[in-house]
């Protein structure tokens, strides 16, 4: 038995944040009914990379049931009310104020059903001057300062939807904590998560570094603004080796056993981490002068032998064939409107328990099944 079997989640969701949260609830056994407009979640049209399906949609919508409703239609509003009457959890990430205008505000829903858990996901929260401001992922990354510290000479956004993922993770954990609270009190609750607040939490290190250190972390590409040596270093065969030294003990071992230049450990330019950060260009030159006579494989071997953290920068194709994923049997096959697709197991791993990996739904593919449960007439 999966831990959320018997829990019904109705989600009026679109894009990334809410679907990411509810897919994780589905992974744990919850029944997730995805309410889409008749034209479908617009994330279905982001691209056609996965055999004609959107890569974002495939990633975050497996194991759900899709019902297509026009919530401006009185008949479909009745269907939505019936769905919520059977729900344990309601999640929505419509535009600010849209759910309340549809009669789906948290206060009204919980007056009708005190056991219902309501999660409202928004861009900037339900108050303040940015309440109604559009909040796409890039824009939230900008407003929280993430873009200002990411990249090299030019600022850059992260290559994945970091704000959406952060919001989805807090919505997921918020629902879990609300379900636990309901087990203890018998009552549901309402809570909100904003993408801005979620990503603002993740900006804790640069905030403290800048506010109390007097300067913001510099944009450092694949390097680290506050730790050195950390990041890519060129080997003699043209490859790049990525490594990280976390403390002074490791720094001494790195100098003695990897570089075989023990005098560098006590060099006054490098004998403490802040000094190594401040003298980063000289540090890189000293390290790469040794690495120039070695291949990437030789450097990695030395690093492994003395326990210095290192990694290989892999392409997406190499990631898909990663030996660690293969060795731990992390791949499964899920069905979809485009046929079987390979999908990763969710990261919460419990020995002896297989997560739910059900198909990715087409638009409204469960509409008539759900209508029948609600004693509503089928659609053509």
Q: Which of 56, 224, 322, 366 is catalytic?
A: 224
What is the torsional sign of CA 309, 315, 318, 319? Answer: positive
Q: Is the peptide bond before 229 cis (omega within 30 degrees of 0)?
A: yes
Bridge partner residues of 83 (DSSP): none
| Strand pairing report for 331-334 and 64-68 | unpaired
Half-sphere exposure of 161 (CA within 13 A, CB side): 20
CA dist 129 and 88 (Å) reads 32
Long-range contacts of 68-74 (CB under 8 A, 24+ apart): 68/36, 68/37, 68/38, 68/40, 68/363, 68/364, 68/367, 69/35, 69/36, 69/37, 69/38, 70/37, 70/38, 71/12, 71/35, 71/37, 71/102, 71/104, 72/102
Could you confirm whether 224 is annotated as catalytic?
A: yes
CA dist 18 and 99 (Å) reads 14
Q: Would you list the DSSP string of 44-72?
A: GGS--TBTTB-HHHHHH-TTEEEEE--TT
Catalytic site residues? Answer: 224
């Amino acid at each position: 038995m999966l831990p959320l079997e018997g829990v019904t989640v109705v989600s009026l969701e679109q894009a990334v944040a809410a679907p990411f949260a509810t897919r994780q609830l589905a992974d744990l056994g919850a029944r997730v009914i995805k309410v889409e407009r008749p034209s479908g979640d617009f994330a279905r049209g982001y691209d056609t990379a996965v055999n004609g399906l959107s890569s974002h949609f495939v990633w975050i919508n497996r194991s759900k049931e899709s019902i297509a409703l026009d919530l401006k239609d009185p008949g479909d509003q009745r269907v939505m009310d019936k769905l919520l009457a059977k729900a344990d959890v309601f999640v929505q990430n419509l535009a600010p104020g849209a759910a309340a205008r549809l009669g789906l505000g948290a206060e009204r829903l919980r007056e009708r059903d005190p056991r219902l858990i309501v999660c409202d996901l928004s861009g900037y929260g339900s108050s303040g001057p940015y309440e109604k401001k559009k909040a796409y992922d890039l824009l939230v990354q900008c407003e929280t300062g993430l873009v200002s510290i990411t990249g090299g000479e030019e600022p850059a956004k992260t290559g994945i939807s970091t704000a959406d993922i952060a919001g989805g993770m807090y919505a997921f954990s918020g629902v879990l904590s609300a379900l636990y609270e309901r087990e203890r009190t018998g009552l549901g609750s309402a809570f909100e998560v904003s993408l801005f607040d979620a990503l603002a939490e993740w900006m804790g290190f640069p905030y403290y570094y800048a506010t109390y250190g007097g300067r913001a972390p510099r944009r450092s590409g694949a390097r680290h603004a506050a730790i050195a040596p950390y990041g890519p270093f060129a080997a003699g065969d043209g490859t790049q080796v990525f490594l990280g030294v976390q403390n002074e003990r490791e720094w001494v071992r790195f100098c003695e056993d990897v570089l075989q230049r023990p005098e560098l450990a006590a060099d006054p330019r490098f004998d403490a981490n802040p000094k190594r950060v401040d003298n980063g260009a000289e540090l890189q030159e000293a390290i790469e002068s040794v690495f120039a006579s070695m291949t990437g494989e030789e450097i990695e071997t030395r690093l492994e032998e003395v326990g210095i953290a290192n990694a290989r920068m892999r392409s997406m194709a190499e990631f898909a064939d990663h030996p660690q994923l293969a060795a731990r049997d992390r791949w499964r096959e899920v069905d979809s409107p485009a046929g079987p697709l390979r999908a990763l197991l969710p990261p919460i791993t419990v020995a002896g328990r297989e997560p739910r990996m059900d198909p990715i739904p087409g638009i409204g593919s469960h509409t008539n099944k759900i209508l029948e449960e609600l004693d509503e007439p089928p659609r053509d």
